Amino acid sequence: MLPSDLKPEQFNGYPPEARKLVSGYVAALRRLPLSFLPSLLREAIEYDFKFPAERRAIEKELSNLDSLSAGQLSDWMQGFAQIRISSQLEHSDWINAPAQFVEQLSSYLWTTHQLDAFRVAAVAYADRLRGVIPPEKPPVPRLGITIVGRGVTASDTPLFRKLRPHGAYFKAVKPDNGMQLLLNVVAARAKAHPIPYAHWYIDGGQSAVYDPALTAVSYHALEPVRAVLSAKIRAEIERPGMGPENLRTVLAQLRPADLGLAKTGDAVLDRFQVKMLTEGSGTQIFSTTFAQWTAREALRRAQPLTLLVRFAPRQRQKPMNEMLSSSREVAELDPLGSLIDADMGAYYNWLNLQRLPGAEQSSFLVWFEGHNEAIAIGPSLPRGTESTAVTGLEQLLNWAS
């Protein structure tokens, strides 16, 4: 089936809000090439479970496509129109399973050597879209905080090497009560700017006590979910004929209730957490990977005003199948390796913060938990500098903002 044959009732299988949204744009969707449309539907079908920033982005994108004349649309879609699609893909259920279509399309593009052309088309489209729908500036400059090194008593590892050229490195930070102090700062911002999903606390271990105004995710709290997921993975891989692509499809179809998350929870956040575990690579087994990937996705999708990420020690490396096992034995931890993971994770948190609108005004702090080292980056802080002055974390945040 081709997009030109689309009818409104074909979206009856979509969740209610997604159905309502898409049904209003069927005429616009009919004009899009098959190499493009399922990517858009993949986002739209999840509309009911999207964060507010994502919802606004989808609405604006659909509205823009609807507003284009035939000539303009042809120009916008020129690159995608040149992508050849197999008849097998054409006959797949891309309306109700757009994510699976996109996955199969990706494989098809690789094997037909069309990936580069698709990539060029996608970049051109995204650039154009940004041109007509300017990114929303945040109501207040964003703040990112990353805490690394939990459980490390001493380390010779030189920290923040990738971040130092971008900010001021402090070597005599007062660590007292640091975690609580930073949580208080984050909570105060959440209360001053009470916007849904705008203030996050992600913990790679067990959460500290936090203000309910925060959107919170922790690796420890998801332990029962991870156990159910591991059991499902093991059961799937033992089935004859199960390969990695089939498994990926099965995982993508898992919903919060399938993994034991209560139906009374926050449906948007629960769906997000499940995606972290079913779509992230390594998030099921390494807490450092979980914290970094969750921060990346929270920044990309929710575009928060405030993000506090605390890394915790991950389990020591073992064979993958063993790490995925349901053993209740206490895992041996690797605090020093986790510190190196977290140091890189902090850099990625900063990079991903820089990709959001208003990046030039945002501030960022990384602190080696319980120790005297921190780096602060902000519009008013000098770059590539070092300080040995005795300083509190609150003072660093003031300077960075």
Partner 1 sequence: MATNGAYSPFELARQLAWSRRDFLRRAAGVALGSSLLPPGLFARTGVPVSKRKVVVITFGGGARDQETFAPEGQENIPHLMRELIPQSAFFTQVVNRGILGHYVATASLATGVYETINNFASLPPEHPTVFEYFRKDLKRPASDAWVVAPSNGFNRIGESSHRSYGPGLGAKVILPKHLLTAATSGSSTDYEHLLRDNYETPFYTPELGGSEFELQQLGNMLKLSVDDFKAHALTLSSPDELSVYIVRQLMRQVAPSLLWITMHDIDIAHAGAYSLYIDGIRRTDRLCADIWKTIQSEPEYAGKTTLFILPDFGRDSDDDSGGNGFQHHRTGDALSRTTWMMALGAGVREGVVFDRPMDSTDLVPTLGSILGFSASLAQGKPIPELL
Binding site for partner 1 (CB under 8 A): 110-113, 115-116, 119, 122-123, 126-127, 161, 233, 236-237, 242-245, 247, 280-283, 285-286, 288-289, 292-293, 296, 300, 314, 317-322, 324, 334, 336-341, 343-345, 347-348, 351-352, 355
Residue 237 Cβ vs partner 1, minimum distance, rounded to whole Å: 5
Question: Is the Cβ of residue 40 or residue 185 nearer to partner 1 in the bound state?
Answer: 40
Phi, psi angle pair for 249, to nearest 5°: -65, -45
Residue 288 Cβ vs partner 1, minimum distance, rounded to whole Å: 6
Question: At 63, which helix (H) or strand (E)?
Answer: helix 52-67
Of the candidates 200, 320, 327, 335, the residue with the CA atom closest to the CA atom of residue 266: 200
Residues 6+ apart with CB under 8 A from 94: 1, 34, 37, 38, 41, 101
Residue 275 Cβ vs partner 1, minimum distance, rounded to whole Å: 14
Residue 290 Cβ vs partner 1, minimum distance, rounded to whole Å: 8
Question: Is the Cβ of residue 124 or residue 140 nearer to partner 1 in the bound state?
Answer: 124
Beta-sheet strands, E only, within 7-163: 143-148
Residues 6+ apart with CB under 8 A from 328: none
CA 380/CA 140 separation, integer angstroms = 16
Question: Is the Cβ of residue 185 or residue 324 nearer to partner 1 in the bound state?
Answer: 324
Question: Is the Cβ of residue 227 or residue 233 nearer to partner 1 in the bound state?
Answer: 233
Residue 321 Cβ vs partner 1, minimum distance, rounded to whole Å: 6
Question: Is the Cβ of residue 171 or residue 300 nearer to partner 1 in the bound state?
Answer: 300
Between the alpha carbon of residue 340 and those of residues 16, 159, 309, the distances in Å are 45, 8, 15
Residue 319 Cβ vs partner 1, minimum distance, rounded to whole Å: 5
CA 125/CA 146 separation, integer angstroms = 33
Of the candidates 36, 5, 6, the residue with the CA atom closest to the CA atom of residue 109: 36
Question: Is the Cβ of residue 122 or residue 227 nearer to partner 1 in the bound state?
Answer: 122
